[in-house]
Amino acid sequence: MKILVTGGAGFIGSAVVRTAVERGFDVVNLDKLTYAANLDNVKDLAPARHAFEQVDICDRAALDEVFRRHQPDTVMHLAAESHVDRSIDGPSDFIETNIVGTYTLLEASRAYLAALDSARAAAFRVHHVSTDEVYGTLGDTGQFTEETAYRPNSPYSASKASSDMLVRAWGETFSLPVVISNCSNNYGPYQFPEKLVPVVILNALAGEPIPVYGKGMNIRDWLYVEDHADALLTILTRGELGETYNVGGNNEVKNIELVRTICAILDEISPRASGRYEDQITHVTDRPGHDFRYAIDATKIKRELGWEPRVTVEQGLRQTVQWYLDNAWWWQAVEARNGIARKRLGLSVP
């Protein structure tokens, strides 16, 4: 089976591409290569199994050409602008890529499907990869289910909610075979160093302040990226058309606890010359509209498709910390390309 993966040079997309190729799929990886992309994430894949196309999902003619040349059996859509803080500073790319780009991909998929023979058309689907942030925020109790009403609070989550709605409408109105999944916060190797987990690891190692929004009491459900890739391939191959699946890690953690856990792992495997990494924690002004708590009820995907996470947050964080320690070449190149400079605290750390 040949999968067209959009956003396959990003963090989650590249984990999907690597896992898919490992499991015997052929992959066409379509990516615009924004700041968040990195072809190093897929550099070890054999060209016979992995074709890369630099294309913007807003470019309909280029999408049609990719479909025509590669004749994929199915589509998994991950390309997006994905960083909440950037959506607050400048929402327009989020509207363009996440909404207009998804619309353009849906239309290109619809045209491609119409020209397929019936056997291939029966196997074709568009799997849209989305976030639990579309559901808004929770109080101290409760969990998001697939029935929870959408109440997005940031420009990012509003743009993802819009794209989910478009996918749903294309399924209902045009009978496009679609599936949607909404997942909680991912972490793991190859994550761009602007997201919380790599920021904590890299600032800690650089002897810089480790920024924590507000008091760090916000709660997120954390999922190791390879577990998410596994869930996505499960949904792609066995999920019911027209359905939505929530994907989560059953790992609700306060931000401050997550940061302290990373610091403790670093104290153990790469200790500072003196003191503890926790001493670098610095509370900063909270993000506007910061959702208090996300928690995913992932019962449906477990019950219907037999998927559940394999990696606990403690194991996953340990693997992630070790990966960043072992792969300085990867994040140093990303930081150099993106002009990410660190403001040192003047601490004596290794």
Active-site residues, by number, are 132-133, 156
Closest CA to 230 of 302, 283, 167: 302
Minimum CB separation from ligand NAD for residue 274, in Å?
Answer: 35
Question: 4, 27, 37, 210: which one contacts ligand NAD (CB under 6 A)?
Answer: 37
Q: How far is it, in rounded angstroms, from Cα 230 to Cα 236?
A: 10
Instruction: For the segment 187-216, give every residue that binds ligand NAD (CB under 6 A).
Output: 192
Q: Does 186 bind ligand NAD (CB under 6 A)?
A: yes
Question: 3, 4, 5, 12: which one contacts ligand NAD (CB under 6 A)?
Answer: 12
Q: Does 220 bind ligand NAD (CB under 6 A)?
A: no
Q: Does 255 bind ligand NAD (CB under 6 A)?
A: no
Closest CA to 172 of 184, 160, 164: 164
Instruction: For the segment 38-77, give every residue that binds ligand NAD (CB under 6 A).
Output: 56-58
Among the candidate windows 8-16, 231-239, 275-283, 297-305, which touches ligand NAD by CB under 6 A? 8-16
Minimum CB separation from ligand NAD for residue 131, in Å?
Answer: 4
Q: Does 231 bind ligand NAD (CB under 6 A)?
A: no
Q: How far is it, in rounded angstroms, from Cα 9 to Cα 101?
A: 17
Among the candidate windows 33-41, 170-178, 311-319, 333-341, which touches ligand NAD by CB under 6 A? 33-41
Contact pattern from residue 131 through residue 170 relative to ligand NAD, giving x for each residue in contact according to CB under 6 A and a dash for the rest: x----------------------------x----------
Q: Does 34 bind ligand NAD (CB under 6 A)?
A: yes
**Number of chain positions touching ligand NAD (CB under 6 A):** 31
Helix axes 328-338, 196-206, angle to 10 degrees: 100
**Residue number with CB closer to ligand NAD (42 or 349):** 42
The residue with its CB nearest to ligand NAD is 10
Instruction: For the segment 72-101, give every residue that binds ligand NAD (CB under 6 A).
Output: 78-82, 97, 101
**Residue number with CB closer to ligand NAD (6 or 162):** 6
Q: Does 251 bind ligand NAD (CB under 6 A)?
A: no
**Residue number with CB closer to ligand NAD (56 or 208):** 56
Residue with tokens 């920021």: 199
> CB under 8 Å, gap of 24 or more: what pairs does 151-154 form?
153/289, 153/291, 154/84, 154/87, 154/88, 154/289, 154/291
Q: Is 238 helix (H, G, I), strand (E, B) or coil?
A: helix
Which residues contact residue 299 at a Cβ distance below 8 angstroms, ignoring those fewer than 6 apart? 145
Q: What are residue 127's DSSP bridge partners?
A: 76, 179
Phi/psi for 137 (5° steps) reads -120, 155
Q: What CA–CA distances, in Å, run from 78 to 75, 92, 97, 259? A: 10, 18, 11, 27
**Residue number with CB closer to ligand NAD (35 or 124):** 35
Closest CA to 85 of 182, 213, 218: 213
Report yes or no: 91 and 160 within 8 Å, Cβ to Cβ.
no
The distance in angstroms from the start CA to the end CA of the chain is: 47
Q: What are residue 40's DSSP bridge partners?
A: none
**Residue number with CB closer to ligand NAD (10 or 177):** 10
Buried b (16+ CB within 10 A) or exposed e, 257-294: ebbbbbbebbeeebebeeeebeebbeeeeeeeeebebb
Question: 11, 224, 294, 307: which one contacts ligand NAD (CB under 6 A)?
Answer: 11
Binding-site ranges for ligand NAD (CB under 6 A): 6-7, 9-13, 31-34, 36-37, 56-58, 78-82, 97, 101, 129-131, 160, 183, 185-186, 192
